[in-house]
Structure 1
C-alpha cells in the first residue's frame, strides 16, 4: 500500500546524492510507490488549539543527477497526516535540535509516526549513549575538568579528545605520550571548564578502520563500512578524507551490535549507526546514520531496501 512519507532533513540542494543516505531512502521509497515529501526542522511549528504543522514540499525524484528532484507542490500540512515522519536532520545536537524533537513528540501525541523516536533521539546523544554499554567501551572520561583530562592522559599516555556535539570527525584531536599541545587542545575544546568533553584511550586498530555497523530494527546489516584513515590523518571519517571499504560483519561485531540493538530498538530507534574501532564501541549514532550507498555499491547488499522493509513493517504494526 502506498504511504506518504515526510523527511525532516537538511536543505535538499545541499544533498550529495551520490553518497547521501537520506536520498537513498527516498529513492527506494519512491521505487515502491510511496509518496515523498521534505521539510526543514525550522519549518516545524505549533499553535495552541491546533496541530504541529510544517511548510512541506511534495517532491518527485527525477533520476537526473543534476536536477534530482521536482517540487510538485508546497503546502502547510499537519505531521499526523503523513504515514511516517523520518527525522534525518544532521547534527549539531544543539538546543534547536532538541526543540525540534519536542515539536515532533507533540506531533506523536497527535497521531504522527516519527522515526527515530524524538524522545529516543534526546535520550541517546551520540557520544554519551556509549555509557550504557561500558563492557564494549575503551577507557573513557567525560568531564569538564582540565585536571581530570591531564590525569587521564598521565594514566593512558595516548588519548583522543573530542567535543560532544561534533560530527564527521570535527574537533577530534590525538595526544601521544609527549603531551604535545595538550594544554592548548584542552583550552580549545573545554573552553575553560565551560563545556564537557570526551576523552578516550587511543585504539591502535584505527589503522584497520573505524567500522560503521548499521542496525535496522535491532538487526545488524551483514556488511560494515570500515572508514580507514589516509596519510597522516588519525580520523577515519569519510568527511575527513577516510577511505570507505565495505567488509563482512565479524562474529564479535555482530555480537556487540545485536546486544546493543536488542536494548535500543524497542525504545524507538529503528536505525542506529554503531561506530566500532577494533572491538571498542566509540559512538552510537541515532540522528542521521549514513553509509547506506557505500555498502550497497561495494557489496550488492541493498541496505535501503532493508531499511524500507523495516519501516513498512513498523507502520503495519503501529
Structure 2
C-alpha cells in the first residue's frame, strides 16, 4: 500500500512523542510505501487533477536524521492508496483551503482520512454541542451580557476561544468575578468573536483525559493530562503531566456512543477530551497521544490505527 501523509514539515517532528511519526513507523514496519507532503505543496491547475510535490521517505531508525528521502516528485493525489491528513492546528484559512483541495482529490478517486468535509463539519470545541447528554453546562456566544449571566448562575467558569489549541487563551473566573470584564473583552474582541464558556469542572485535578477512538472503537487506555504547579490547564503544551490509565466506564460509554456516529461521517481517528464524566472537546484535525499511551501501557495504538486504515481500504 502506498500512503501519503499530509503534515507539518518532517524536520519539525519531535519523534519521541509525535503521533504522525508513530503512524509512519508502523506503516513502514508493515511494508507499506510512505510519502509525505505539506498543504503548501498541494496544487490544482485548470484542466488537471489535484497534485502535490511529495517526498518518498524511508525511516532510518536514527534519532537525529530519522528519515531519508528516496525520491521527490510531483504526483496526482489520487495515485495513492490512502492519504492521511495530519496537519496540526490551527484550523485557519489555509487549513480550510487544504480541505477543499483534498475534497477535490476525493472526487477524483483519492481516499482521505479523516475526510476533508468531516474536518470542516466538526470544529473541535463546537462539535460537543451536538451531544448535550455528555457535556457540562456550556454556552457559545459573543454577547458579554450572556457570559455575565452564565457566570452569575454557575459562579466558577472557564472561558476559551473557539480556535485555540494547546490550552492557549483559556481563562478561569471564580465566584468573585475578578477580571471577568477584561477577559470577555480580550476573548470576544468587543463582541466581534464568538467564545465558549463552561462551568468549571473540579475533576480537572485528576486530569483532562484524551480518549482515542479509532475506526469507531475506543482505545482501552487514555492519557490523563494532569495540571501542574497551580495551573488550571492540563494540556501537555501548557506543562501538564501525561499519565496513561485504563478508560473508565463513563469514558467508554461516551466513546461507544459517539464512535460509530463519527466513524460513519468519515472520521477514522478522533480524540475525545473528557474531564471527570464530561466531554469537553472532540478533536479531529490531528489527535495525538499515541506514543505516550503505548510507551506507558504497552498497548500498541499505532498498530490499532493501521489496522483500521487497512480495513477502511478493503
- TM-score over 0.5 (shorter chain): yes
1:143 aligns with one of 122, 141, 144: 141
**Residue 5 of structure 2 corresponds to which residue in structure 1?**
7
Matched residues in 1 for 2:138 and 2:200: separation? Answer: 10
1:27 aligns with one of 16, 25, 28: 25
Task: For residue 60 of structure 1, report the CA deviation from its aligned partner.
Answer: 0.8
Matched residues in 2 for 1:72 and 1:161: separation? Answer: 47
Matched residues in 1 for 2:222 and 2:96: separation? Answer: 29
1:54 aligns with one of 52, 55, 60: 52
Quick check: 45-54 or 267-276, which moved more? 45-54
Which secondary structure state, in structure 1, belongs to the residue aligned with residue 53 of structure 2?
Answer: strand
Q: Which runs of 5+ in 2 are unaligned?
A: none
Matched residues in 2 for 1:265 and 1:271: separation? Answer: 8
**Residue 203 of structure 1 corresponds to which residue in structure 2?**
201
**Residue 170 of structure 1 corresponds to which residue in structure 2?**
168
**Residue 41 of structure 2 corresponds to which residue in structure 1?**
43
2:73 aligns with one of 48, 72, 75: 75
1:108 aligns with one of 81, 106, 109: 106
Which secondary structure state, in structure 2, belongs to the residue aligned with residue 257 of structure 1?
Answer: helix
1:301 aligns with one of 292, 295, 299: 299
Task: For residue 149 of structure 1, report the CA deviation from its aligned partner.
Answer: 0.9
2:246 aligns with one of 245, 248, 252: 248
**Residue 125 of structure 1 corresponds to which residue in structure 2?**
123
Task: For residue 158 of structure 1, report the CA deviation from its aligned partner.
Answer: 0.5
Which secondary structure state, in structure 2, belongs to the residue aligned with residue 23 of structure 1?
Answer: helix
Matched residues in 2 for 1:315 and 1:221: separation? Answer: 21
Matched residues in 2 for 1:194 and 1:77: separation? Answer: 42
Matched residues in 2 for 1:123 and 1:45: separation? Answer: 23
Matched residues in 1 for 2:37 and 2:203: separation? Answer: 40
Task: For residue 74 of structure 1, report the CA deviation from its aligned partner.
Answer: 1.0
Which secondary structure state, in structure 1, belongs to the residue aligned with residue 74 of structure 2?
Answer: strand
Which secondary structure state, in structure 2, belongs to the residue aligned with residue 56 of structure 1?
Answer: strand
Per-residue CA deviations over 1:30-65 (Å, capped at 9, x if unaligned) read: 000111111111111111211001111111111100
Task: For residue 301 of structure 1, report the CA deviation from its aligned partner.
Answer: 0.2
Task: For residue 96 of structure 1, report the CA deviation from its aligned partner.
Answer: 1.4
Task: For residue 183 of structure 1, report the CA deviation from its aligned partner.
Answer: 1.2
**Residue 63 of structure 1 corresponds to which residue in structure 2?**
61
Task: For residue 185 of structure 1, report the CA deviation from its aligned partner.
Answer: 1.0
Query: TM-score normalised to the size of structure 1?
Result: 0.98
Matched residues in 1 for 2:238 and 2:112: separation? Answer: 31
Per-residue CA deviations over 1:249-293 (Å, capped at 9, x if unaligned) read: 111210110001021111100000000000100000000000000
Which consecutive aligned stretches of 4+ in structure 1 deviate over 4 angstroms post-superposition? none
Quick check: 39-48 or 122-131, which moved more? 39-48
1:169-188 to structure 2, matched below 5 A, reads: 169-188=167-186
Matched residues in 2 for 1:180 and 1:45: separation? Answer: 50
Matched residues in 1 for 2:207 and 2:191: separation? Answer: 32
2:230 aligns with one of 217, 229, 232: 232
Matched residues in 2 for 1:48 and 1:194: separation? Answer: 37
Query: TM-score normalised to the size of structure 2?
Result: 0.99
Which secondary structure state, in structure 2, belongs to the residue aligned with residue 288 of structure 1?
Answer: coil
**Residue 290 of structure 1 corresponds to which residue in structure 2?**
288
**Residue 313 of structure 2 corresponds to which residue in structure 1?**
315
Per-residue CA deviations over 1:150-175 (Å, capped at 9, x if unaligned) read: 11111111000111111111111111
